[in-house]
């Protein structure tokens, strides 16, 4: 055989083909970092929800109490999903995703009902506060949801 050929001169195997294997046993550092941040954020949301529950008990507002309960339940679901994803279970991604979608919908409904009860007027303090709430609570949830579904993260889950 010629020296320019892509075959091994001794055994005749094709040396020009590159086979790429995805090693699922390597450490998924990105996934683990996302999951740890998710757990921290969910614990923060549970703390925020407990404050809602305390405020609801003082004001006897059932809407705030319901919202706080939904935030607690979705945060627990998010933590369960993150722990399962650390264990590299794909079902964890689905549990996380459902919990986050419910959380985001609840956040949007809470902001809408709060503004409609108070007479939403653009440029007043409540409108600005609603924008801040969406920015600080909703945007990270959307970003994390999108990042978890990236192929580079999902490849570690099975």
**In whole angstroms, what is the distance from residue 68 CA to residue 1 CA?**
75
pLDDT at 108: 84
Q: What is the mean pLDDT of residues 97-118?
A: 82
pLDDT at 121: 46
CB atoms within 10 A of CB 110: 20
Confidence tier at 122 by pLDDT (50, 70, 90):
very low
Q: What is the mean pLDDT of residues 141-149?
A: 97
Per residue, the 3-state secondary structure of 15-80, as one string, reads CCCCCCCCCCCCCCHHHHHHHHHHHHHHHHHHHHHHHHHHHHHHHCCHHHHHHHHHHHHHHHHHHH
pLDDT higher than 90, residue 123: no
Q: Note the pLDDT tens digit of each residue in 35-86.
A: 999 999 999 999 999 998 998 899 888 878 898 999 999 999 999 999 999 9
**In whole angstroms, what is the distance from residue 103 CA to residue 99 CA?**
6
pLDDT at 87: 95
Q: What is the mean pLDDT of residues 130-142?
A: 84
pLDDT at 21: 62
pLDDT at 113: 72
Q: Where are the domains of the chain?
A: 29-154
pLDDT at 18: 64
CB atoms within 10 A of CB 9: 10
User: Across the chain, what does the average pLDDT equal?
Assistant: 84
pLDDT at 26: 75
């Amino acid at each position: 055989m010629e020296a320019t050929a892509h075959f091994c001169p001794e055994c005749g195997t094709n040396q020009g083909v590159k086979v790429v294997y995805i090693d699922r046993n390597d450490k998924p550092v990105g996934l683990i970092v996302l999951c740890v941040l998710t757990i921290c954020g969910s614990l923060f949301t549970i703390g925020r929800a407990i404050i809602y529950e305390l405020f609801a008990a003082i004001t006897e507002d059932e809407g705030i109490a319901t919202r706080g309960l939904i935030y607690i339940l979705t945060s627990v679901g998010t933590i369960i999903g993150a722990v399962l994803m650390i264990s590299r279970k794909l079902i964890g991604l689905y549990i996380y995703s459902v919990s986050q979608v419910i959380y985001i919908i609840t956040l949007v409904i809470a902001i809408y009902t709060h503004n409609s009860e108070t007479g939403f007027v653009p440029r007043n303090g409540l409108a600005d506060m609603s924008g801040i709430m969406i920015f600080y609570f909703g945007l990270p949830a959307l970003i994390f949801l999108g990042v978890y579904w990236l192929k580079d993260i999902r490849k570690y889950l099975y």
